[in-house]
Structure 1
Amino acid sequence: MVERVTAVGEELATWLLGCWVDVTNAGGAVGFVPPVGPEDVRPALDAHLAELSAGTAFLGVLRADGERAGFGFVVGSANPLFRHWATVLRLQVHPRFQGRGAGRTLLDGLAEHARAGGLEFLHLTYRDGLGLGRFYESCGFAEVGRLPGAIRIAPGDDRDSVLMTRKL
Structure 2
Amino acid sequence: MALTFTLDPAVTPELRDGILDLWTDVSEAGGAGFVPPVRREAVRPELVKHFVAMAEGRARLLVGHDEEGTVAATAFFHFNTHRLMTHWVWLYTVMVHPRHQGKGYGRELLAAAEGAARGMGGIEAIRLTCRGGLGLERFYGSCGYKEVGRVPAAIRVAPGDDRDDVIMLLPLS
TM (norm. structure 1) is: 0.95
Q: Residue 52 of structure 2 is aligned with which of 33, 47, 50?
A: 50
**Cα distance in 1 for residues equivalent to 2:103 and 2:14:** 26
CA displacement, residues 125-153 of structure 1 (integer Å, 9 cap, x when unaligned): 00000011111001110001110000001
Aligned to 1:133: 137
**Cα distance in 2 for residues equivalent to 1:82 and 1:8:** 28
Matches within 5 A, 1:1-168: 1-5=4-8, 7-27=10-30, 29-67=31-69, 68-118=71-121, 119-168=123-172
SS of the residue corresponding to residue 84 of structure 2 reads helix
CA displacement, residues 145-166 of structure 1 (integer Å, 9 cap, x when unaligned): 1100000011100000000100
Deviation at 1:64? 3.0
**Cα distance in 2 for residues equivalent to 1:79 and 1:133:** 27
Contact 1:149 / 1:160 at 8 angstroms: preserved in 2?
yes
Contact 1:145 / 1:163 at 8 angstroms: preserved in 2?
yes
What's the RMSD between the two structures over aligned residues?
A: 1.2
Contact 2:9 / 2:63 at 8 angstroms: preserved in 1?
no
**Change in 2 beyond 3 A, CA 1:69/1:131:** same
Contact 1:6 / 1:52 at 8 angstroms: preserved in 2?
no
**Cα distance in 2 for residues equivalent to 1:107 and 1:75:** 15
**Change in 2 beyond 3 A, CA 1:131/1:101:** same
**Cα distance in 2 for residues equivalent to 1:70 and 1:104:** 11
**Cα distance in 1 for residues equivalent to 2:36 and 2:86:** 35
**Cα distance in 2 for residues equivalent to 1:36 and 1:63:** 23
TM (norm. structure 2) is: 0.92
**Cα distance in 1 for residues equivalent to 2:57 and 2:72:** 24
SS of the residue corresponding to residue 80 of structure 1 reads coil
**Cα distance in 2 for residues equivalent to 1:129 and 1:77:** 28
Deviation at 1:105? 0.3
Q: Can you give the 5+ residue segments of structure 1 that lack an aligned partner in the other structure? A: none
Q: Can you give the 5+ residue segments of structure 2 that lack an aligned partner in the other structure? A: none
How many residue pairs get matched? 167
**Cα distance in 1 for residues equivalent to 2:150 and 2:54:** 28
Contact 1:7 / 1:52 at 8 angstroms: preserved in 2?
no
Contact 1:23 / 1:93 at 8 angstroms: preserved in 2?
yes
